[in-house]
Structure formats: structure tokens, C-alpha cells
Amino acid sequence: MAVGTVLVTGGTGYIGSFTTLALLQNDYDVVIVDNLYNSSKVVLDRIELISGKRPAFYEVDVTDEASLDKVFAKHPEIDSVIHFAALKAIGESGEIPLEYYHNNVGGGITLLRSMKKANVPNIVFSSSATVYGDATRVPNMIPIPEECPIGPTNTYGHTKVMIETVITDHINAERNRCKKAGQPFEQWNGALLRYFNPCGAHPSGMMGEDPQGVPYNLLPLLGKVATGERESLLVFGDDYASKDGTAIRDYIHVLDLANGHLAALDYLREHKPGVRAWNLGSGRGSTVFEMINAFSKVVGRQLPYKVVERRHGDVLDLTAKPTRANEELKWSTKLTLEDACADLWRWVENNPKGYRQDPPAEFVEA
Ligand code: NAD
Ligand code: WQD
């Protein structure tokens, strides 16, 4: 029998697909809704090849309440939701803010309304380290604990803070409503998971990140330099106050990140905390040059780069203090940067066109 049934919004995307895989491998049933804006249904085949199980899938937009209602009606067994579906490009969010607010904030509200009607009380939300903004401002709070004041510096970050607030108000209101009616209230819970910099791919080389447009994150871009699709990596500034002048981030393997969601679901079920935030990071910061060197090492040659101006809105350091997640969720990262780089390279080498090509023959025949 399944441990539970989870609706995963954005489940064909990068982190959603790995979390779906981890859920299936841990005896959860999964129902995905995704509008395929930034993903492909092919990932469902890869999930099935690896796990032997296939999640239910609905091509639904999370801003479409009537369609969400139908999914909940068809799957009354859903007891929790993990909400990944969102637009996530920081630069783009400043150019088309209304799309970001509509999709991320509007979609989140619609989802919660639909969940409320279906009486689904648990939500795990994909938040981001970007909610902290510049944690090196006085007082310096690096590594960043959850108590660090929120201060996003971009529209994307604003949407994440808004949904954190909406979830908190909604769960508190449901708890109060139940209390007043003399009903059990503890089942209403929310986890706000603030991810640092997710990276890496499945060690089989069959699943990885497959952005539909031009990538803008460091590791997917390094992958494109390694395959020759890009000439060199542009390093955004070497005049930061770090050991080599480049900015510091906390890179976390996507397999570790996926497991963090299962740990959060367990915590909500066992401790019924109301709404609580956890940082999902390794606690270890790496500079851009360190990442270029680590990836170059697995590729077997020095990847070319060119130092250019700082990128607008970038901060010096986003390194997590993951103590709360370590202690409360009993979760910590297990995989190293070297693992992430090796797995990413295997994925990129095997699938230079991402999911838009057949899986390697040995996996199909196996
Ligand atoms: P992704 O783009 O790979 O996945 C998001 C998925 O949501 C895609 O499959 C997309 O098609 C879908 N989607 C978007 N809008 C939708 C809508 N209106 N209705 C239905 N589906 C929709 O991104 P990801 O990297 O897997 O990120 C997942 C979540 O984690 C996002 O909420 C993102 O903001 C958050 N996050 C990501 C990172 C990161 O660096 N990747 C870091 C912190 C937080
Ligand atoms: C990493 C480092 C760049 C590209 C944001 C969010 C985070 C998560 C990921 C969603 C930075 C440098 C990058 C390049 C470079 N997303 N860089 N040349 O901006 O740290 O994190 O996106 O929530 O939460 O905050 O990620 O991968 O874009 O950059 O030098 O071509 O690599 O300056 O120091 P970022 P990133």
C-alpha cells in the first residue's frame, strides 16, 4: 500500500521530476500537474525506466482552478501537495513582472483554493535562497540561517516571499477555523523549503536539467561550454571580497534536494508544526572559479572562460546554515560537488539535446 498520495505541481520540471522519482522509490503514489511550459513529457518515460513506476500526469496550468478541481476530484486519495510549478528566471522576472506575479502568486493562490475545496491540508512549497537577498549587509549573516531577515532584490524573489506569506496566512486561518468549530486542526501544515543552488543530474545519465530556452544558471552553461555549444563561460565579476574574487554559492545535488522534500513530508506528518521554513543547502560555499575547475576536472580539460562585469542584482555570498534542516528534518546533503559535476557531465554528454532525443540504448535494452 502507498505511504501517501502526493500531487506534484511542476512535476515534469527539473527538481519536480527528481522529487517524483524519489517519492515513487519510497512507495508514494504521485499525481503530476504541469503545463509543460519548461519541460517535456519524455521525462515520465525516464522516471519509469529508472523506478519501474509511472506517475499519473495531467497537462494542467496551476492558474486554471476548474481543471485543478477536476484533478482533485479524480484523485480523492491525494493527501499532500508539493508545489514546484513556477517561472524562475530572475532576469526575465524584472522584464515581465506581471507574468511572474500571475503565474507564481496567482497560480499559488488558485492551487490553495482548490486544495481547500478538496480538503487537502498539507503543502510543501519550493521557495528559494533568493528571498534573503544580500545577507552580507550589516549585520553579516553568512552562513544564512532561517532567521535571517527576508529582503529579496528581484521580482522572482518577491513572488516567492508573497507565496510564503499566503501559505502562512491560509494555514493559520484553517487552524483557527477548525479550533473555533471544536474540530481537529493539526492536520493543516506547510513547509517552506528555501533551496540554495540546485545542480547535478541522475547518476544513470538518464535524467537531468533540460531548460527549454537559453540557460542562465552557471552549471547548465558550463555544460554547454563543455559540449562546444558555447565558446566560453562569462564569469560575472572577479572583484568580489572572496578568496579568488568570484561570488560564492552553496551548490546542492538535486538528488539530495529531492530527499529534502520527503523529509519535510515526514516532518509535517509527525510533528504537525503549522508553517515552518527550512534552508536546503549543504552549508559549504564555492566560488565560480572553484566550480569551473571542478567541472573542468570531470570533463578532462580546462574549460575556457572570460571575466566580464558583475551581473546586476548578484550578491557576494549565498551559503546556507542548514542546521535547522539537519536537526529537525534529520536531513543533510550526502553527495559532493564532485558527484554533482560528474553526474551533470554524464547527463550532458549522453543527452546534448536534453529530453528531445532517445535515451542511451543500453538503458532501453537493460
Ligand atoms: P523548472 O522550470 O524545471 O520546473 C518548473 C515546472 O513548472 C516546469 O515543468 C514548468 O513547465 C512548470 N510550470 C510553470 N508554470 C506552470 C503553470 N502555471 N502551471 C503548471 N505548470 C507550470 O524549474 P525547477 O528548477 O525544477 O524549479 C522548481 C521550483 O523550484 C520552482 O518553483 C523554482 O522557483 C524553485 N527553485 C528553483 C531553483 C533552481 O535553481 N532550479 C532554486 C530555488 C527554487
Ligand atoms: C551562480 C553564480 C553568478 C552564470 C539564483 C537564485 C537561486 C536559484 C538559482 C531559483 C553567480 C555566476 C552565472 C554565468 C557566472 N534559483 N555566473 N556566469 O543567481 O546564484 O541563484 O538562481 O530560485 O535561488 O538565487 O544562480 O547559477 O545564475 O549563478 O559567473 O554565465 O555563477 O554570478 O555568482 P544564482 P546562477
Only one residue has cell 538535486, namely 254
From the alpha carbon of 311, which atom of ligand 2 is closest? Answer: 33
Position 136 scores a pLDDT of 86
What is the mean predicted confidence (pLDDT) over 236-262?
A: 98
pLDDT digits (tens, 9 = 90+) for 71-95: 999 999 999 999 999 999 999 999 9
What is the mean predicted confidence (pLDDT) over 217-237?
A: 96
Position 138 scores a pLDDT of 67
Would the pLDDT of 250 be above 90?
yes
Strand partners, 56: 31
DSSP string, 112-169: HHHHHHTT--EEEEEEEGGGG--TTSSSP-PSBPTTSPP---SHHHHHHHHHHHHHHH
Position 27 scores a pLDDT of 98
Whose Cα sits closest to atom 21 in ligand 2? 197
As given in the structure block, the three cell numbers for residue 244 are 579568488
The gap from C-alpha 168 to its chain's centroid, in whole angstroms, comes to 19
Position 360 scores a pLDDT of 62
Least Cα distance to 84 among 140, 25, 32, 48 occurs for 32
Please give the ipTM for the structure prediction: 0.98
Report the amino acid identity of residue 325: A
For 30, phi then psi, to 5°, come to -130, 135
Pocket test for ligand 2, best of 127, 309, 314, 341 (most atoms within 8 A of CB): 314
Pocket test for ligand 2, best of 92, 104, 130 (most atoms within 8 A of CB): 130
Percentage of the chain surpassing pLDDT 70?
Answer: 97
Position 359 scores a pLDDT of 67
Whole-number Å distance, alpha carbon 1 to ligand 2 midpoint, is 41
Percentage of the chain surpassing pLDDT 90?
Answer: 93
Instruction: Map residue 232 onto helix, strand or coil.
Output: coil
Whose Cα sits closest to atom 14 in ligand 2? 218
pLDDT digits (tens, 9 = 90+) for 156-179: 999 999 999 999 999 999 999 999
- Whether the CB-CB separation of 159 and 86 falls below 8 Å is answered with yes
- Whether the CB-CB separation of 340 and 253 falls below 8 Å is answered with yes
Whose Cα sits closest to atom 8 in ligand 1? 13
CA gap 194, 146 in Å, rounded: 9
Position 361 scores a pLDDT of 65
Would the pLDDT of 365 be above 60?
no
Position 366 scores a pLDDT of 45
> What are the pocket residues of ligand 2 if the criterion is a CB atom closer than 6 Å to any ligand atom?
88, 90, 128-130, 197, 216-218, 221, 233-236, 247, 249, 288, 311, 314, 318
- Which strands sit side by side in the sheet containing 286-287, from one edge to the other? 286-287, 248-249, 317-318
